[in-house]
Amino acid sequence: MKSSRLLSIVLLLQTRGRVPAAELAERLEVSARTVYRDVEALSAAGVPVYAERGRHGGIALLPGFRTDVTGMTADEARALFILAAQGAHSALGLDDALRSALRKVMAALPAPHRPAAELAGRRILVDPDKWMPRPSSAAAPADGSAGRGTVVDLDVLHSAVFTDLRLRLRYRHSGETRPRTYTVDPYGLVAKAGTWYLVADRRGRPQLFRADRVATATLTEVPVRRREGVELAAVWQQLRRQVEDRPAEVRVTARIRRERLDLAVRILGGALTGPPRTGEGEDDGAGDRDGAGAGAGDGDGAGAVPGDGGWATLDLAFPVLPAVRQLLQFGDSLEVLGPPEARRVMAEAAAALTAVYAADTPSA
């Protein structure tokens, strides 16, 4: 709208000094003729703005027409411009609002702090998204259940948070194919490692709902019923502790080839109960498992044991025994050492996988 554009022109001129009309037009996504009309409107409103023609001309404010934010330090100014990547703002439809807010802050900063603030925004980037995110086109299946992509427009959840109304969800839990229906009292939205969560009470108890598992979301006309004195940050911390401190019933020891260790740590980080043991200067007591000494093997590391430099030992914890099967993704680069029941699960899973592909194996 015009009033917002007029304010943007003033803020840009305060920040940059003299600015060519063509540059203002490009920044504001309007024509140069519209910029000149806006300048006339500002002048008529008492803003000391003028235009200079010629090769080095442009539009400028009279010297002294400026407002500073007093008391802001250089570090505070830099901190304001080290912002998260646009993913979170885009999901909430706030990209334009963010750009406008930054223009206002930059214009209001004390002049000595502007270069450092602008440089911080160009040199430091915080990207909260995970590597290789799922494509957004992964939509819901034909049966109406929630798929793996974001099904519900985040605006609906956003509206529920700010309008203080109860929300009716059709939500698919992990491992289920059909959504369930809930009526919840939302506290707010949380973006965690590239994934959006709705934090809400269901029947007076806090619960997390992944936005990409919400099949439908409908605002009711019933006012929200939050617990008195409870805020989003406190509920989020409670739910986060429940996820991170969930007791792991199965403790597993495995060995992995050293060249695959970094990848394993990235993938299995949440299951690791301690740092990997590389055997450098330590004795993990596993050197002679099944009677195989450190010198056993065929020279390529296949017969090596933890502590010989070719392998590292991992201490892992899983909530249930079948979860151990996720270690199959490392192929023969990882071996489960114990407990015996975990080795048995791996052996059965590997045998089943071999049977699937046995028909494609060429006969000798």
Strand partners, 223: 165
In this prediction, residue 103 carries a pLDDT of: 76
Q: So what's the pLDDT on residue 348? A: 94
pLDDT exceeds cutoff 60 at 84 = no
Output the average pLDDT for the chain.
77
Lowest mean pLDDT among 106-110, 125-129, 136-140, 209-213: 136-140
Confidence at residue 194, expressed as pLDDT on a 0 to 100 scale: 74
Task: Please tell me whether the peptide bond between 339 and the residue prior to it is cis, using omega within 30 degrees of 0.
Answer: yes
Where is pLDDT greater, at 4 or 349?
A: 349
CA distances from 60 to 3, 48, 203, 354 (A): 18, 9, 59, 74
pLDDT at 291: 39
Q: How far is CA 219 from CA 114, 160, 214, 232, in A?
A: 43, 6, 14, 19
> Quick one: average pLDDT of 95-123?
74
Given a cut of 90, whether residue 127 has pLDDT beyond it is: no
> Which residues make beta-bridge pairs with 272?
316
Angle at 112 between CA 106 and CA 115, to 5 degrees: 60
Average pLDDT over residues 51-75: 71
Local confidence band at 315 (pLDDT 50, 70, 90 cut-offs):
very high
Q: Which range among 46-55, 189-198, 221-230, 355-364 shows the weakest confidence by mean pLDDT?
A: 355-364
Report the pLDDT value the prediction gives residue 11, as an integer from 0 to 100: 78
Q: Judge whether 230 and 237 are in contact, CB under 8 Å.
A: no
pLDDT of residue 72: 59
Indicate whether 120 pLDDT > 60. Answer: yes
DSSP of 224-281: P-PPTT--HHHHHHHHHHHHHTPPP-EEEEEEEEGGGHHHHHHHHGGGBSS--B--TT
Q: State the pLDDT confidence band at 283, using cuts at 50, 70 and 90.
A: very low
Tokens of 291: 């009677």
CA 21 – CA 270 distance, rounded (Å)? 54
Per-residue pLDDT at 290 exceeds 50:
no
Question: What percentage of the chain reaches a pLDDT higher than 90?
Answer: 26
pLDDT at residue 126, as a whole number: 64
Residue 125 banded pLDDT, cuts 50, 70, 90: low
The DSSP H or E segment spanning 209 is strand 205-210
pLDDT at position 200, please? Answer: 94
Per-residue model confidence as pLDDT tens digits over 302-313: 334 444 558 999
Query: What's the rounded Cα separation, in Å, for the pair 32 and 167?
Result: 46
DSSP at 142: T
Three-state DSSP class for residue 226: coil
**pLDDT value at 229 more than 70:** yes
Report the distance separating Cα 334 and Cα 280, nearest Å: 19
6 pLDDT higher than 60 = yes
Question: Which pLDDT does position 295 carry in this prediction?
Answer: 36
Distance CA 8, CA 35 (A): 11
- For residue 258, pLDDT over 60 is answered with yes
Question: 130 falls in which pLDDT band (50, 70, 90)?
Answer: low
Is the pLDDT confidence value at 297 over 90? no
Instruction: Report the SS3 class of residue 202.
Output: strand
Where is pLDDT greater, at 90 or 83?
90
Q: Are 337 and 255 in contact (CB under 8 A)?
A: yes
pLDDT band at 347 (very low <50, low <70, confident <90, very high): very high
| pLDDT score of 118 | 76
Please state, in angstroms and rounded to a whole number, the distance separating the CA atoms of residues 297 and 302: 6
Q: Is the pLDDT of residue 299 over 60?
A: no
Q: How far is CA 13 from the centre of its chain?
A: 35
Q: Report residue 98: phi and psi, to 5°.
A: -65, -45
Q: In terms of residues, how long is the chain?
A: 364
Q: Which of 149, 218, 206, 140 is nearest to 179 (CA)?
A: 140
User: pLDDT tens for residues 143-187?
Assistant: 444 444 445 667 788 888 888 889 999 999 887 889 999 999 999
